Amino acid sequence: MKEENKKSEDKVENVKKEEETLEERKENEKEGTSNEKKENKKKGFFKDMFEWIYCIIIAVVLAVFFRYYIGTPTIVKQESMFPTLQPNQRLWLNRWGRTTKTLPKRGDIITFEEPDKITYNSSEIDLKNPVAQYEDLYGVDWFINNFLEIGKRSYIKRVIALPGEHVEIKEGKVFINGEEMKEDYIQEGVVTDISGAGATIGFDDFIVPENTVFAMGDNRNHSTDCRAFGCVPLKKIESTVAIRIWPLNLFGKID
């Protein structure tokens, strides 16, 4: 009798142990499933974050490439192109000409990189080589200055003369190949001379070299331009002004 009771107790105890083991397995399975879900959720978060960062980087790269090769907006900051352009007006710049290495036409309004040397004295100026001076940049310096345009200064002026043309500035006017140039875009009474470019000596009688242009601001009395530093090389021309986008009442192409 005692043996039977003992066997019965042992059996009950074994059943309890099996039930406890089963419960432990279930708990472990639940805990494992929970940990797996947490791990998957964590992996999903980092995957989503990586995809967003990747998309942002791609968008920034595309925007930089578009700005350099195709076009970009800009804001007029100075008065050198008055009355055609005025401070705080917004423009859209066409940079396809730089991409295709195409010279602008006479009358085009262009932007170009500020030369390293702005004015000359009598011993420095060379009317036989009237080209603005720029420091050559390479590698990272070129990328930062030209591609990212960090710390870069640019001018906005109108193309007056093209390669091979003889430019003379005299009697308060501009002469191209001996003929007076008609300039309806400058204000009446404004004279064109060297002093208006902020220089005591400048480029006033020369032939425009190949792959360069001669450009001046419409506000001749307040414009630092090619009269002071020489013609702009094609490789330093950044863009031509396509349209004015602000203010809205002046939206459109600029003459």
Domain spans in the chain, listed from the N-terminal domain onward: 1-69, 71-250
Residue 167: CB atoms within 10 Å: 23
Task: Render pLDDT for 9-64 as a digit per residue (tens, 0 to 9).
Answer: 555 565 555 555 656 665 655 555 556 666 666 677 778 888 899 999 999 999 99
Task: Render pLDDT for 241-252 as a digit per residue (tens, 0 to 9).
Answer: 999 999 999 999
What's the rounded mean pLDDT across residues 82-96? 97
Report the SS3 class of residue 43: helix
pLDDT of residue 2: 47
What's the rounded mean pLDDT across residues 60-74? 93
Helix (H) or strand (E) holding 81: none
CATH class of 71-250: mainly beta
List CB contacts of 170: < 8 A, sequence separation 6 or more: 204, 205
pLDDT over 70 for what percent of the chain?
A: 84
Percentages helix, strand, coil for the chain (3-state, rounded to 5) are 40, 20, 40
pLDDT higher at 22 or 240: 240
Q: What is the reported pTM?
A: 0.81
Would the CA dihedral through 113, 205, 212, 222 be positive or negative? Answer: positive
**DSSP letter (8 states) at residue 236:** G
